[in-house]
Chain A
Amino acid sequence: MSKLKLATVWLDGCSGCHMSFLDMDERLLELAEVVDVVYSPIVDTKEFPDEVDIALVEGAVASVDDEKKIKKIRDRSKMLIAMGDCAITGNVPSMRNPIGPEAILDRAYIQNASAQAQIPCVVVPKLLRVVRPIHEFVKVDVFLPGCPPSAGTFHTALTALVNGGPLDIPALTRFGA
């Protein structure tokens, strides 16, 4: 049997979900027998591949770049998993929503700047007005809440998904877990 192609993506999040994913430790070897990691912040591939079986997405959609990426990921992936609270609820990144991006940028780059106070506008993508969960942009197949979901949650969920076994997510994890 050929291995499943697994991608992991980091949008607007803290990378804690990826850290927790790596916390599977020796269980990663077990997982590596059935999947190939074809794209991830922890491997060197630059372009999201054309045909991915499982895409794990960490982080909310906060910028025009995130929006473009999540649409491309959806187009190229058979199964899209929203990994962690930021991807599912907006979580901490969404705390700027009631305040708006202008006030946040002003606070970070003008008021609190000690030198060269200016709001970055070159190379960095434009922020969306509100940070939103990924399922408001594309269809999500599996939701794995938690901040971050534990290594055990990742292991149980991925094992079930790879083998097509039963999976009771609310029994494993919750918002803020």
Chain B
Amino acid sequence: MSVETDVKTLVIDEQEVSARAGQTILEVARENEINIPTLCHLDGLSDVGACRLCLVEIKGSNKLLPACVATVQEGMEVSTNTERLQKHRRTILELLFAERNHICSVCVSNGHCELQTLGQEQGLTHIRLPYRNPELSVDASHERFTLDHNRCILCTRCVRVCSEIEGAHIWDVMGRGINSLIISDLHQDWGGSACTRCGKCVQVCPTGALFDKSKIGSDHPKYPDFLPYLNLMREAQ
């Protein structure tokens, strides 16, 4: 018995590539070493297309598509790094920096932060928008970890890893738009929640919003690479 694979051929940044039907543009681009910046995407978690950093242009369409959720089509011509996209990406990052209180110099994630690194990669040297300076709380009620809303970018990686991988689903999002907030259980203190203390949310958090209390200063690299491996092992069982 032969298994037929539905192969699609498309062009990404003038490079001809082939893909399996159902693959996302992001997957195929990365397989071919074409870099598309992402923030809410993480290998091993479902995709939500929330941060919009991975927007790409499709020839013949005026609409920009998020590469993490858009699937490949036969004959598609994708551009991942046009001037228009670079402009949008910079603006998205500036909005994130202006929305909450990201003080890199005193952040536990300084030097290991995906937001900070992306800002540098996309050429940000200042934020053109006025800072909002919202008054936000820090939840240090958990014995091992801290949640600092000041650094949160609402990527929901913590929500997804807790629900999809750990199976505890203690994280969720409360409110709408700019008032959205990550909450544990039904907006109870993290320390008093049904948290299993596994720490996966801390490892997947791209910024200093979730951190380990035992880490001091800016000595807090994160290791989310365990996710694809864990998924693979579970599938094998």
Contact = CB atoms under 8 A, between A and B. Distances in A.
Interface in A33-91: 82, 85, 88-91
B148 to A, nearest CB: 13
B136 interface: yes
B105 A174 contact: no
B194 to A, nearest CB: 30
Which DSSP category, helix, strand, loop or mixed, fits chain B's interface? loop
B130 A136 contact: yes
A176 B111 contact: yes
A83 to B, nearest CB: 12
A145 B125 contact: yes
B116 A174 contact: yes
Given A170-B124, A175-B119, A130 B107 contact: no
B120 A170 contact: yes
Interface string A94-136: 1101110000000000000000000000000000001011011
A163 B218 CA distance: 36
Contacts of B126: 82, 88-89, 133, 135, 140, 143, 145
B133 A130 contact: yes
A95 B103 contact: yes
B120 A91 contact: no
Contacts of B218: 176
Interface in B93-121: 97, 101-107, 110-111, 116-117, 119-121
Given A175-B119, A176-B116, A92 B105 contact: yes
The bracket for how many chain A residues form the interface is 20 to 34
A103 to B, nearest CB: 11
Nearest to A96: B133
What DSSP secondary structure best describes chain A's contact surface? mixed
A140 B128 CA distance: 11
A97 B105 contact: no
Contact of A98 (B116, B119, B133): B133
Interface in A141-162: 143-145, 147
Contacts of A92: 103, 105-106
A91 B105 contact: yes
Contact of A91 (B103, B116, B134, B136): B103
A57 to B, nearest CB: 13
Contacts of A85: 104-105
Query: Taking each of B104, B105, B119, B120, which has the highest tally of chain A beta carbons within 10 Å of its own beta carbon?
Result: B105
B230 interface: no
A169 interface: yes
13 contacts: A85-B105, A88-B126, A94-B103, A95-B101, A95-B103, A98-B101, A99-B135, A130-B133, A175-B102, A175-B104, A175-B105, A176-B104, A176-B116
Given A133-B127, A135-B128, A169-B125, 14 more contacts: A89-B97, A94-B103, A98-B136, A99-B135, A132-B130, A136-B130, A143-B125, A147-B104, A147-B105, A170-B120, A170-B123, A174-B104, A175-B116, A176-B111
Interface of B: 97, 101-107, 110-111, 116-117, 119-121, 123-128, 130-131, 133-136, 218
